[in-house]
Amino acid sequence: MLCWFSFGQKNDTIRYSALFIDCCSNDIGNFYQKTDWYVINEKGERYNPKNDTVSLPVNGNYSIISFAYQSEPIKLNLTSDFHVDTFKTSCLNSYLPELFYSKNSTFVSCSNFTDSIYTEYHTNGNLRWKGNFSNGMVVNCLENYYFTGELKSKLLIDKNSVLYYEFYSTGQLKTEIDTKKKYRKYYYPNGEVSMKMTNFGKLKFFTYFENGNIKVKQSNRKEIIYSEQGTVSQDLSRKSLFINDRMKSADSSISYTNTWIQYDSTGNKVKELEFISKNHYSIVIGTIYKIRKNEYKYIEYYKNGEKAIAIYLDFYTDEKGEYIMLYNLSEYENGKFKTFRELPVDEYELLIQEYEK
């Protein structure tokens, strides 16, 4: 922090202002100053700037947050009625951020490709960047530091691999990437793994709750969602259709048959849906909830873990080229087949409403 000003006059509120200076032009950046920062107190209560200044109720410990400046809050100890801090944005930036973890990572400093040994400092004098470059490309190692001096990230590059480590300001590992071994790991502040991705070509993706229990398992053909207690809550699997099966279908562009199963909090099955599709559907990104009715093959509902009903759907195209849906209902008692009948459309809608409650 470059400066602070204090006035002797007693105010009902404490005023705080943060100035963000562009490293290359030395101009105060309107984007950073007016839209990208705010202050929180120790309870996490937020105070937004108005006319570039935040009004705070009392002196004490706060934090300023500006994600454009750094990813973690900067602690403030405000003891005066009016306080101004000055921060300078980084001169060093990745030329193509999407290639940051690549051997071809390229960096520029104020629009010029970085060369030789490079160092940059925060406005409080602490080291910000330290690395070696050749025509904008990292040679061996690049380190980035928090405003308060702790190591934030480390990028290691050789001929065969890229290693990237990111840390919380506490020193706890936050991100770990190894391009040679083809994995990424992300960590909670308590050290538990929050996400893991392996084998970038054939995706295997895992996320975890903060207590260490698995949350999501995902591969190219399967997604399993878990509750925080460790029971499966949803299961989605897909199979590719053979060419002969596609040709027999009313729509030869159909590529997959899918099964989506949902469970209650005790692990009992409550619903199973089989459907066909042209593309991948996903629970994780929410596209599963956009399935069209004409993609359904059957729906099964369960009570107390026992199958209660099964509805089989089919359709044909009438003379006008419109889809006509057909519904057939199988009813079960204690999990055993009881009756089978054709289901009118209005009764189908009512049954779905009843079981989807």
- Dist CA 245 CA 242 (whole Å): 5
**In the prediction, which pLDDT does 113 show?**
86
**In the prediction, which pLDDT does 324 show?**
79
Look at 335 and 149; give whichever has higher pLDDT.
149
pLDDT at residue 78 tops 70: yes
Q: Which residues contact 118 (CB under 8 A, 6 or more apart)?
A: 92, 109, 129, 130, 131, 132, 133
Domains of the chain, CATH where assigned: 14-88 (2.60.40.10), 92-181 (no CATH), 221-355 (no CATH)
**Strand 323-333 to strand 54-56: parallel, antiparallel, or no bridges (unpaired)?**
unpaired
Considering Cα of 19, then 24, then 25, then 30, what sign does the dihedral take? Answer: negative
- Dist CA 18 CA 31 (whole Å): 12
Q: What's the mean per-residue pLDDT of the chain? A: 85
b (16+ CB within 10 A) / e for 262-299: bbeeeeebbbbbbbbbeebbebeeeebeebeeebbebb
**Look-up of token digits 């889809």:** 323
Is the pTM higher than 0.75? The answer reads: no
Look at 29 and 223; give whichever has higher pLDDT.
223
Partners of 60 in beta bridges: 78
At 239-274, the pLDDT tens digits run 887 655 554 455 556 778 899 999 999 999 999 999
Amino acid at residue number 265: S
**Strand 92-94 to strand 151-157: parallel, antiparallel, or no bridges (unpaired)?**
unpaired
- Dist CA 232 CA 265 (whole Å): 8
pLDDT at residue 4 tops 50: no
